[in-house]
Structure 1
Amino acid sequence: MVFEVFAISAAFVFGLAMRPIGLPPLVGFLAAGFFINAFGPTFGMPTATGPILDYLANLGVLLLLFTVGLKLKVKQITEPQVVGTGLLHFLFSIVIFTPFVRLFFTPDWMVALLVAIALAFSSTVLAAKMLEAKRELGNFHGRTAIGILIVQDVIALVVLAIFSGKLPGPWALLIFATPLLRPLLFRMLDLAGHDEVLVIAGMMLSLVVGGVGFELIGLKGEIGALVMGLLLSTHPRASELSSSLWSLKEVFLIGFFLSIGMSGLPDWDAIVFALAVGVLLPLKGVLFFFLLIAFGLRARTSFLSALSLTAYSEFGLIVAAGIPAAEAFLVPLAIALSVSFVVAAPLNRLAHPLFEKYEDRLQPFERSVRHPDEQPTDLGDADVLIFGMGRTGSSAYDAMTEQGNAPIGLDADTYKAAAHVEAGRNVIFADAEDSNFWNSVNLSRIKAAILAMDDIEAKLIAARTLRAKGFDGPIVSHALYEEHVYMISEAGADQTYLTMREAGRSLAAHAVDEIRARNGTAG
């Protein structure tokens, strides 16, 4: 019981302490890991708790990658800006880091190369966590960042296979047969229902079929969990499955951040190494930014994607742990990873304000080409704007159409927008947090705006910008939490409704109508 009391209490105290200073809880969990490592034995905590946390951390990472896969499309991983940026950034990073590590930290060129490879990767866990927290995994820049991370993960597997001498056997070729499993997986998800069996189905697919199954054929379980998610990403209930695993994944991921902190107490050399590569961390983001610009993306997408990728990777620790020549750098790399998280997490929270602040300096770097993430300027004959085309936005769109209005839906997910177009709705790709969209869009025909996206920051920006552009029509929004109602109204919305409260009122209204209809029939 000492382990549970000490680990959970430390995670809670340090995670809670981050909120008043504006840092995400994961930074506190990292600090809690170092605290447990330093003071745990003094309080009677068993020394064998490391493997327990490592096990929980592995479950958390597998569940995270599975849920990331549920929100991806295979097509996006093969896009030129994704594959090209992932490969080129890896090569340029090795060229930069190898001589640096060789000059200051080791006389061995091979060890320097392996450490440089570990530093070349970006954190899948941090990027996915931050994008998910901001509800931007489906946005263009979020999908681009995650696609690049998948390319990096594949590179990491190849590196491990080459330098550890553990090349995958012929069974690994079975990965190319996994699409044949899709009908069976779809049927399994159809039968799982909506209760705890759905949660167990998600755990089995991510941890058993993906995690253990891929390790049995000589591949990493992380790739297996991601592949399982990708196979199910086109299922109508993929989003529901992801939501059902959310709390479970969050709890296990605490173990991941604690385990990084508990990987070892740093000596002076490890601290110097972490600070030195921390100074080089901005180069990682700058390189991502200019590579994405070179592949024709706009400055905003390039900046947001690059910022998501500006952190060292937990896969670097896996590389160091799996290759004997690099094991001496395991603790220094863990400290460097922690430092990069502390720097990157708050910057990612401020990503949109940061771009707005430096937009004038970043915009000139854009290429004069047709950008794949181009924002619309003409809304046609539409008279109602609907931001966010999930279930709430889609219902609002259909209701507006039935009332004789001409709505247009805006969504930052290109795939979701395309799916709505196929279904016959007037929906376009546009991001309410993108200043370029607001600078060029014509709102002269718009009579009303509905804010149906979930992200509170996106709602606030949309409401403020609509009013700043002189829009005087009604702005109506929904809110997930009571404390958001006042914020959205202050930003410029005329009416803000709590989603669940309105659902309850609607149910009551239907019940009253049914009672009256039956009483009328009986009379």
Structure 2
Amino acid sequence: MPEALWISFAFALGLLVRSLGLPPLVGYLAAGFLLSSVSAVTGLAIEATDALNHIAHLGVLLLLFTVGLKLKLKSIVSPEVIGGSLLHFGITCAIFTPGLYLLMDLAWPTALMLAVALSFSSTVLAAKVLESKRELRAFHGRVAIGILIMQDLIALVVMSLAAGQTPSHWALVVFGLPLLRPLLFRLLDASGHDELLVLLGLLAALVLGGFGFESVGLSSELGALVFGAMLAKHPRSQELSKSLWSVKEVFLVGFFLQIGIGGLPDNEAMVFALIATLVLPLKGILFFFLLLLFRLRARSGFLSALALTNYSEFGLIVASVALPDWLVPLAISVALSFLISAPLNRFAHVIYERYGSGLSRYEGQRHHPDEQPLSLGNTRVLIMGMGRTGTAAYDWIQPQEAELMGLDSDPAKAAKHQREGRNVVFADAEDASFWNGLHMPEVHSVILALGDIEAKLIAARMLRKLGFRGYIVAHTMYADEAHQIREAGANDAYLTMNETGVALASHIMNRADEQPD
């Protein structure tokens, strides 16, 4: 039974790769190629069935839908996103086309379409890596995702031209989709917190977005992303994203298996994949300098560029329409780029911490709004991370301490807090340049309400490295993480659920002498 083999190989290699400190998706890719090898050696018919292809497609749609839930479309309409994506596409095609023509002895149209396919970066991998590090809403994460959306739109245009087809005239209906937002909001409000919420997510991502867009000649991937973005402003959008998490993760395993099972390459395919892998760093370097051109700081440009330094599954989709004979070579190129990109992104902050001083020399004189504060002024209490926990702490402390400041790595979230009257500014605790030269003379207490354990550890270490002798407190879900945070320099690290129980009990004890209603 092929399903039993898929699951067994994916679990075994995913577990092995994870034990080596790499993302499990690298193991899923390896499982696909291993299954393909086993099929070639033993003669067993192990191939990507319609069921696996369908599961893989659903995984991609759900991933794009959840990415959309965390996006604000106005953040995509920015010079660095539009200009960076278009310039990168044009320059890549201009360089890769003659290079492939000369090196591979290809016809000009074939070389051009291959260059187009290699110009795209992987939405699936970048979103997966950024999501795992909780950086989708950080500035560099939003830039990377915005560029990927622009690339997806370019890919849709290319596929339409290559197929000689144009979208149905019914595609104009998509311009009226914003009118559906109030209805979608009401449905989300009425769906509760259980299985109806999951079904609503599947309805929006797969039926309305996927099947709906496909039926009018548009990309189902784009549809899933658009419907996610339409729900992004709802207060329960993140709850919806979390409810779909396990379904999405399981389906995405099928996507990575599908790439590997696609077939073993011949010599020509391996030569092509090797050339594509060797020039992969040029793709990231070009992104880095283009983003610096749009006044991003070196760190933001580096992290965005690294997330985009890979080849795209969308390139395979373009090839399936325009160059079906090149699917296997492109699949090998995509897989090799994943094997390189995934571990590099896992250690992106460590890499930048080591080489950041050299990269920062290429920054321009005028900086982008991702610039961070150099002084905290008269701030006495600092809250790092202004999500639900940080906001609750801020609102409780504010009446008792006027010199209070919050920091958050999402510029849009910081701006929202400012509009609501809170003293919150943009800053990224994982950015070494934020800590270099930071002046915080009056701060006596710091609350670490950051979402990521790595960010908490870095913040605690850097605060002590700066000579801060005040009180540092953090929260976490797990006892082992609490121990790590204390080891990094925090005075205390409390378990979130334990503190919730203590807070509830305190309400009871405070009313112990009162008469019940």
| TM-score interval, normalised by the smaller of the two chains | over 0.9
2:432 aligns with: 435
| 3-state SS in 2 of match to 1:344 | helix
Equivalent position SS for 1:380:
coil
- CA shift, 1:480, in A, is 2.0
Cα distance in structure 2, aligned partners of 1:313 and 1:498? 40
Check conservation: 2:69, 2:237, Cα contact below 8 A: yes
The structural deviation recorded for 1:47 is 4.7
The one-letter amino acid paired with 1:409 is: G
Seen in structure 2, the aligned counterparts of structure 1 residues 42 and 104 have a Cα distance that, compared at 3 Å, is closer
Which deviates more from structure 2 when the two are superposed, residues 505-514 or residues 108-117?
505-514
Per the alignment, residue 257 of structure 1 pairs with 256
What is the aligned partner in structure 1 of residue 11 from structure 2? 12
Q: Is the 8 A contact 2:284 2:308 kept in 1?
A: yes
How far did residue 40 of structure 1 move? 4.8
Cα contact 2:60–2:124 (8 A) shared by 1: yes
What is the aligned partner in structure 1 of residue 443 from structure 2? 446
Q: How does 1:268-283 map to 2 (within 5 A)?
A: 268-283=267-282
Give the counterpart letter for 1:397 in structure 2.
Y
Whichever residue aligns with residue 142 of structure 2, its letter is R
Deviates more, 1:432-441 or 1:399-408: 399-408
Instruction: Normalising by structure 1, report the TM-score.
Output: 0.96
Alignment of 1:51-70 (within 5 A): 51-70=50-69
Structure 2 partner of 1:378: 375
**Structure 1 residues 301 and 32, CA, compared in 2 at 3 Å: closer, same or farther?**
same
How far the C-alpha of 1:42 sits from its partner, in A, is 7.5
Q: What per-residue deviation string (whole Å, max 9, x for no partner) do you get for residues 441-483 of structure 1?
A: 2110101000001111111110010001010000001112222
* Whole-angstrom distance in 2 between the partners of 1:500 and 1:473: 26
State how far apart, in whole Å, the 1-side matches of 2:106 and 2:417 are.
58
Task: Using the TM superposition, name which of 486-495 and 433-442 deviates more.
Answer: 433-442
1:372 and 1:80 mapped to 2: Cα distance? Answer: 12
Alignment partner of 2:328: what SS?
A: helix
- Does residue 483 of the first structure (1) align with residue 451 of the second (2)? no
Deviation per residue, 1:169-228 (Å, 9 max, x gap): 221122211111111111111111111111110110000000000011110000000000
- Equivalence for 1:74: 73
- Cα distance change, pair 186–337 in 1 and its aligned pair in 2 (3 A): same
- Please say which of residues 228-237 and 497-506 is displaced more in the overlay: 497-506
> How far, CA to CA, are the matches of 1:42 and 1:196 in structure 2?
44
Contact in 2 for aligned 1:384/1:405 (Cα 8 Å): no
Report which stretch shifted further, 224-233 or 170-179: 170-179
Structure 2 residue aligned with 1:105: 104
Shift of 1:8: 0.6
Give the drift of 1:20: 2.5
Contact 1:210 1:224 in 2 (8 A): yes
Are the counterparts in 2 of residues 67 and 229 from structure 1 also a CA contact under 8 Å? yes
The 8 Å contact of residues 48 and 261 in structure 2, kept in 1 or not, is answered as no
Native 8 Å contact 2:277 2:337 kept in 1: yes
Query: Residues 300 and 355 of structure 1 are in contact (CA less than 8 Å); yes or no, is this contact kept in structure 2?
Result: yes
Deviation at 1:81, TM superposition (A): 0.4
Q: How does 1:127-166 map to 2 (within 5 A)?
A: 127-166=126-165
Greater mean deviation of Cα atoms: 16-25 or 129-138: 16-25
1:421 is aligned to 418
CA contact (8 A) 2:56 2:251 kept: yes
1:350 corresponding residue in structure 2: 347
Superposition RMSD on alpha carbons, in Å? 1.5
| Contact 2:297/2:367 (<8 A) preserved | no
Offset, 1:434: 1.2
Does residue 517 of structure 2 align to residue 517 of structure 1? no
- Mapped to 1, the partners of 2:246 and 2:293 lie a distance apart of 39
Unaligned runs of 5+ in 1: none
Distance 1:379 1:139 in 2: 21
After TM superposition, give the deviation of residue 48 of structure 1 in Å: 5.9
* Separation (CA, whole Å) in 1 of partners of 2:39 and 2:285: 40
Does the 8 A contact of 2:69 with 2:241 survive in 1?
A: yes
The amino acid of 1:60's aligned partner reads G
**Per-residue deviation at 1:133?**
0.3
Give the counterpart letter for 1:385 in structure 2.
Answer: L
Q: CA deviation at 1:21?
A: 1.8
Residue 493 of structure 2 corresponds to which residue in structure 1? Answer: 496
Q: Give how far 1:269 is off.
A: 1.5
Counterpart position of 1:121: 120
Aligned residue for 1:409, secondary structure, equals strand
Instruction: Output the CA distance in 2 between the equivalents of 1:128 and 1:405.
Output: 39
Q: What displacement does 1:107 show?
A: 2.6
What is residue 458 of structure 2 aligned with on the other side? Answer: 461
Local SS of the residue matching 2:265? coil
What is the SS of the residue equivalent to 1:493?
coil
Per-residue deviation, residues 266-296 of structure 1 (Å, max 9, x unmatched): 1122112111110000000000000000011
Matches within 5 A, 1:256-335: 256-323=255-322, 326-335=323-332
Residue pair 1:454, 1:480 contacting (<8 A) in 2 also: no
SS at match of 2:494: strand
Q: Is the 8 A contact 2:47 2:261 kept in 1?
A: no
1:265 and 1:331 in contact (8 A); partners too = yes
Which amino acid in the other structure matches residue 382 of structure 2? L
Specify every segment of 5 or more residues in structure 2 that has no aligned partner in the other structure, as ranges: none
Task: Quote the offset at 1:43 in angstroms.
Answer: 7.8
Q: Deviations over 1:149-171 (max 9, x none)?
A: 00000000000000111211221
Secondary structure of the 1:457 match is helix
Q: Which of 378, 384, 387 is equivalent to 1:387?
A: 384
Distance 1:446 1:382, change over 3 A: same
Q: How many angstroms does 1:135 deviate by?
A: 0.3
Is the counterpart of residue 508 in structure 1 residue 474 in structure 2? no
Matched length? 516
Contact 2:379 2:440 in 1 (8 A): no
In structure 2, what residue type is equivalent to 1:452?
A
Decide whether the 8 Å contact of 2:60 with 2:221 is kept in 1. Answer: yes
TM-score by length of 2: 0.97
